[in-house]
């Protein structure tokens, strides 16, 4: 794979050493072809505002009792790429944004390594409230939040979904297949037939840095699928 010097820097941030010759380095291009310039489009804003209000006041399950605030999602609501994780952690609960802290920084570096600006994708989670002690979501909690996620996907209309982590992948695709066996397989989301690529959660990669190269392979595969579409 030909890489720009900027992408090499982000791979180093991920903890992946990349050895390339000067001839393999591409010029730095800050208008990467897979990060098209954001545009102003107010269509659907009322629906987004209504959905955000519904999420912020949600009391469908017991998680609302211990939250600081809901974590709705962040990024470009017209994005081609949608990133779906598991649930907010302590930092996300405090700030009201998905994927902050160390895992968030790693996710940003992962996206940058394939030429994606974090602000030009849409990032959300299966759950909008933090489970206590960051435990796995319960079935009833996932069910309570499902309509919000489905509506987000319908409004964004992404061209590709990146499911990060076992919980996100299994719940989104309605399967109990281990994540190690889900990687590299072709999946589509519902009747919308949106391609889904499964990879490891950044928090897992922080604990298991040797798996970062596998995650990079998943991301490169996602780019290939996106460009073929």
Residue 23 lies in a domain: no
Residue 104 lies in a domain: yes
* pLDDT higher than threshold 70 for residue 25: no
Instruction: Taking residues 184-212, report their average pLDDT.
Output: 95
pTM exceeds 0.85 for this model: no
- How far apart are the C-alpha atoms of 107 and 86, rounded to whole Å? 13
Residue 49 lies in a domain: no
Per-residue HEC secondary structure of 151-170 comes to HHHHHHCCCEEEEECHHHHH
Better-predicted residue by pLDDT, 125 or 36: 125
Q: Which domain holds residue 133?
A: 72-229
Contact 48, 65 (CB under 8 A): no
Residue 29 lies in a domain: no
Better-predicted residue by pLDDT, 198 or 31: 198
Residue 15 lies in a domain: no
Domain total for the chain? 1
65-108 per-position pLDDT tens digit? 999 999 999 999 999 999 999 999 999 999 999 999 899 999 99
4-20 per-position pLDDT tens digit? 555 555 555 556 555 44
The per-residue pLDDT for 24 is 46
* pLDDT higher than threshold 70 for residue 143: yes
What CATH number does residue 125 fall under?
Answer: 3.40.470.10
Arithmetic mean of pLDDT over the chain? 87
Which ranges of 76-201 does DSSP label H, i.e. alpha helix? 90-95, 101-113, 139-156, 166-173, 179-182
Residue 176 lies in a domain: yes
């Amino acid at each position: 794979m030909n890489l720009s010097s900027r992408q090499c820097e982000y791979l180093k941030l991920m903890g992946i050493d990349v050895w390339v010759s000067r001839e393999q380095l591409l010029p730095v291009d800050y208008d990467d072809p897979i990060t098209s310039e954001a545009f102003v489009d107010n269509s659907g804003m009322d629906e987004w505002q209504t959905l955000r209000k519904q999420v912020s006041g949600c009391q469908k399950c017991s998680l609302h009792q211990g939250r600081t605030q809901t974590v709705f999602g962040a990024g470009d609501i017209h994005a081609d790429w949608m990133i779906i994780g598991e649930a907010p952690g302590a930092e996300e609960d405090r700030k009201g944004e998905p994927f902050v802290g160390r895992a968030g920084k790693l996710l940003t570096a992962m996206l940058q390594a394939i030429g994606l600006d974090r602000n030009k994708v849409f990032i959300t989670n299966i759950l909008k409230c933090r489970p206590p002690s960051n435990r796995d979501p319960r079935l009833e909690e996932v069910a309570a939040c499902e309509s919000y996620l489905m509506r987000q996907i319908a409004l964004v209309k992404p061209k590709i979904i990146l499911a990060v982590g076992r919980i996100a992948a299994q719940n989104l695709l309605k399967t109990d297949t281990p994540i190690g066996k889900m990687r590299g397989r072709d999946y589509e989301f519902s009747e919308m037939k949106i391609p889904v690529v499964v990879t490891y959660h950044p928090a897992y990669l922080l604990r298991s840095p040797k798996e970062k190269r596998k995650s990079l392979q998943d991301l490169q595969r996602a780019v290939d699928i996106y460009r073929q579409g």
